[in-house]
Amino acid sequence: MLPQFLDTTNVELIHNLSVYFIVAASTVFALVAGFIIYYLFKYRESKNPGTPEQLEGSQKVEISLTIVATLLTALFAYLTLTTIQKVHDIPENPKPFMTITGHQWWWEVHYNESGAITANQIHIPTGKKILLALKSADVIHSFWVQKLGPKLDMIPGNTNHLWIYAEKPGEYLGTCSEFCGTQHANMRIRVTAQSPEDFKNWQDHQLNPVVSTGDSLFLKGKHLFEQKTCTSCHAINGTSNTQNIGPNLTHFASRKRFLADMKENNEENVRAWLENPQHVKHGARMPNFIFSDNELDALVAYIDGLK
């Protein structure tokens, strides 16, 4: 039976193809193993003593097996090529919904229609095919969320395009799938699929400027953030900090996890990170500023106050 390509998501196409491969390979394996076992018993020495009859082979059998193997290979080449074509059906002038850039070791995310920018916060509306533009800021990374679409490399100086699709709301996990250095294993992906309404609310919130809590520790932290040159790498939308060398921290407090989904976002973990980044995520580009306890209090209050 040939696959029904119409009205099928990319994930289903790839799933179907792998099922065809598994069924074909298992059938061939079962036939070969079955015949070996059958003839082992049928011609065992106790029943057939002495030298067995010597055979020279059969042209008929050889030709027919060659034809069967060629046809099977051709069928699977056809199925593979058509699947690749369907899965990577990128329009001529692609208008990607979002652009994701891989960095050592986090994801920069731009929502192209709205202009929202986040780090590691990949939210998508359900029931809609989402076109991603994939880039890299340094080395080759690879974007792969198994339940939403195929894997695609992110190559420096190049833009690749990938379709993903989520039918139901939920959290979909993935990971960077190309070795990219020390923290490759901690370059995780979490895609949050939301109903179009929830997605719009989330995105609108991301577009809001950061509101000061008015708390004195928050204000002290804000001042330190600027004074200690955190702003040279980290942007916070609505302030004068626009650098995108490190993760954009706008609305950091609204994030459940940080460090590319490595740690839960709570005061304790943020403090440990600021206190000694190399201890938490060895190799990360974040320098150790050797903050005092008071400075840590203020910075944590500021960063976890960016609601």
Q: Give the interface with ligand CUA as residue ranges (CB under 6 A).
A: 102, 141, 176, 178-180, 184, 187
Element (H, E) at 99: strand 98-103
Which residue, 13 or 176, is less far from ligand CUA as judged by CB?
176
| Residue 142: partners with Cβ closer than 8 Å, 6 or more residues away | 151, 152, 153, 154, 176, 177, 178
Which residue, 13 or 187, is less far from ligand CUA as judged by CB?
187
Q: In angstroms, give the least distance from the CB of 103 to ligand CUA.
A: 8
Which residue, 108 or 304, is less far from ligand CUA as judged by CB?
108
d(CA 251, CA 230): 16
Strand partners, 109: 100, 118
Q: In angstroms, give the least distance from the CB of 55 to ligand CUA.
A: 55
Q: In angstroms, give the least distance from the CB of 122 to ligand CUA.
A: 14
Which residue, 175 or 206, is less far from ligand CUA as judged by CB?
175
In three-state secondary structure terms, 243 is coil
Q: In angstroms, give the least distance from the CB of 288 to ligand CUA.
A: 23
Which residue, 239 or 244, is less far from ligand CUA as judged by CB?
244
Which residue, 141 or 251, is less far from ligand CUA as judged by CB?
141
Do residues 180 and 254 lie in contact, with contact meaning Cβ atoms separated by under 8 Å?
Answer: no
Q: Report the alpha-carbon angle 269-270-271, nearest 5.
A: 90
Q: In angstroms, give the least distance from the CB of 184 to ligand CUA.
A: 4
Q: In angstroms, give the least distance from the CB of 176 to ligand CUA.
A: 3
Q: In angstroms, give the least distance from the CB of 292 to ligand CUA.
A: 34
Give a three-class secondary structure readout of 35-84.
HHHHHHHHCCCCCCCCCCCCCCCCHHHHHHHHHHHHHHHHHHHHHHHHHH
Residue type, 142: S
Q: What is the four-CA torsion angle of 272, 274, 280, 284, rounded to 10 degrees? A: 170
Which residue, 102 or 149, is less far from ligand CUA as judged by CB?
102
d(CA 226, CA 240): 10
